Amino acid sequence: MAHKDVVNVGMIGCGFMGKTHSFGYRNVNPIWDPPVKAVMKCITGSRSRETCQAAAQSYGWQDYEADWQDMLQRDDIDLVDIGTPNFLHHEQALAAVEAGKDILCEKPLAMTLAEARQMTQAAEEAGVKAMCGFTYRQAPAVRLARQIIEAGEVGEVYHWRAVYLQDWIIDPEFPLVWRLDADTCGSGSLGDLAAHLIDMALLLVGDIAEVSAVLETFVKERPLVAAGGGTGLVDKRAAGQKGQVKVDDAALCCCRFANGAVGTFEATRFAQGHKNGHRWEINGSKGSLAWSLEDMNYLEFYKAGEGNRQGFRKILATEGDTPGWEAWWPAGHIIGYGELFINEIYEMLCAIAEDRQPAPSFRDGLKCQAVLDAFTQSARSKQWVPVPPC
Ligand SMILES: NC(=O)c1ccc[n+]([C@@H]2O[C@H](COP(=O)([O-])OP(=O)(O)OC[C@H]3O[C@@H](n4cnc5c(N)ncnc54)[C@H](O)[C@@H]3O)[C@@H](O)[C@H]2O)c1
């Protein structure tokens, strides 16, 4: 809970997200001047004390703890930020709720739908503010897309078409890191990549009624990682051996939305040449919208009915009244990936100050988890699967 004008933050995780979130906390006060200011109190979450200490120093935290549970017991922490592998989210979020802390938890919210449900219920019942880290929602161009859809300018939506393409695990000798180990990640390209596409679809098109999915694992065995292998590596195996890959390398999914639109999702880490190719397109009765993370300052908008002037316009979403841009630079002075974390944390601080749930909330994370779960069930059963209401 917020103490007066400041929110004392405790970060769990010193890896990729530990670094991006630290970047967010370091910059949110000067950029956005939020109603409550973030104080970078403490970082923890690596299994090595030295790593926590080094992260505190280099990322700009006042203090560190070697054990995340010790940090949660501290009275001087208001907001717990969970940037750890997926299998830890449930335990850490429930412990944070128990300690009465607000929470920002990375996506996917949990390993399973049951876990996500428990986390959401616990947070809502306790009245803590709980955000799920679907960072791409915070891009001004995405928020402009939502504004255009809400203004009715796309009309009735017919199609959602989304891909998330990466290529970093094509080498069969790439080791079985936590993102490939079913016990620590829960799912592969689904939870890692498709989760972002699902959240975007839920935000821009609406609830998903039913799904059909194909999942594939191309490389079925990978080298195990020796103990003490470092950040992000599974440490319970012996070096020189191989372990089974039990999660999906690629996911191809279809859905019907509750409003009658249909959608496709493709997520893979085997698309040679693609680094972070998150793209989506919406086609409606009055227009189309398209966005690409790798060109994230632009929104493409096609408006039907403009005669021989028709065509996709490429809007540079950096005007002062573009939602999510208000505190940024003069028009055309573009932002990048890291700035989305500043926007995300600003939304979290506003939610705390205004005593409301942030967007996206744990409930949004739960809705995404229900779709992920239905994709998995469909791939197993080779049947269409309804998505339970959340
Ligand atoms: N919002 C986004 O765009 C985005 C992007 C990347 C990752 N994520 C999510 O953030 C979370 C963390 O991902 P990351 O990329 O920062 O991972 P990472 O491997 O870079 O960092 C993980 C951190 O957790 C610690 N850790 C504690 N116990 C561990 C264990 N048993 N095995 C491995 N690491 C352990 C590591 O030491 C490290 O500090 C994941 O849930 C991931 O899905 C979100």
229 plus 257 within the same structural domain: yes
Co-location of 74 and 186 in the same domain: no
Q: Which atom of ligand 1 is nearest to the CA of 233?
A: 33
Considering the domain architecture, whether residues 153 and 106 belong to the same structural domain is answered as no
**pLDDT at 232 (0 to 100):** 46
Q: Are 281 and 266 in contact (CB under 8 A)?
A: no
Nearest CA to ligand 1 atom 24: 84
Q: Name the residue at shortest CA distance from atom 6 of ligand 1.
A: 17
Domain boundary among 136, 158, 176: 136
Co-location of 152 and 236 in the same domain: yes
Question: Is 190 among the domain residues?
Answer: yes
Expressed in angstroms and rounded, the spacing between residue 209 Cα and the centre of ligand 1 is: 31
pLDDT of the residue at 111: 98
Last residue of some domain: 119, 136, 153? 136
Q: Decide: helix, strand or coil at residue 71.
A: helix
- Residue owning the nearest CA to atom 5 of ligand 1: 17
Residue 181 sits in a domain whose CATH number is 3.30.360.10
Residue 15 CA, ligand 1 centroid: distance in Å? 6
Cα gap 366→110, rounded to integer Å: 8
Residues of the chain with pLDDT below 50 are: 1-3, 227-233
Amino acid identity for residue 109 in this structure? L
DSSP states along 265-286: EEEES--TT-SSEEEEEEEESS
In a domain, 352, yes or no: no
Does residue 357 lie within any of the structural domains? no
- Tell me the HSE value of 298 on the side-chain side, using a 13 A CA sphere: 12
Residue 256's closest CA among 193, 190, 212, 291? 212
Q: Identify whether the C-beta of residue 165 lies closer than 8 Å to the C-beta of residue 271.
A: yes
**Token digits of residue 86:** 């997926």
Please give all residues whose beta carbon lies within 6 A of any atom in ligand 1, as ranges.
Answer: 13-18, 45-47, 83-86, 106-107, 133, 135, 178, 184, 192, 231-232
Q: Residue 307 burial (CB < 10 Å; 0-12/13-18/19+)?
A: exposed
Which residues span the domain enclosing 376?
140-295+297-331+362-386
One domain, residues 144 and 16: no
Ligand 1, atom nearest to 232 Cα: 19
| DSSP H or E stretch at residue 9 | strand 6-12
Q: What is the pLDDT of residue 2?
A: 44
Distances (CA, A) of 307 to 149, 151, 303: 22, 22, 10
Domain boundary among 102, 136, 170: 136
Question: What CATH number is attached to the domain comprising 78?
Answer: 3.40.50.720
CA of 13 to the centre of ligand 1 (A): 7
Residues 129 and 145 occupy one common structural domain: no
Counted domains in the chain: 2
CB–CB of 66/54 below 8 Å? no
Query: Among residues 54, 58, 80, which one has the least CA distance to residue 69?
Result: 80
Tell me, yes or no, whether 225 and 374 share the same domain.
yes
Q: From the CA of 55, give the closest atom in ligand 1.
A: 39
Q: Indicate if 47 and 188 belong to the same structural domain.
A: no
Q: Are both 197 and 307 inside the same structural domain?
A: yes
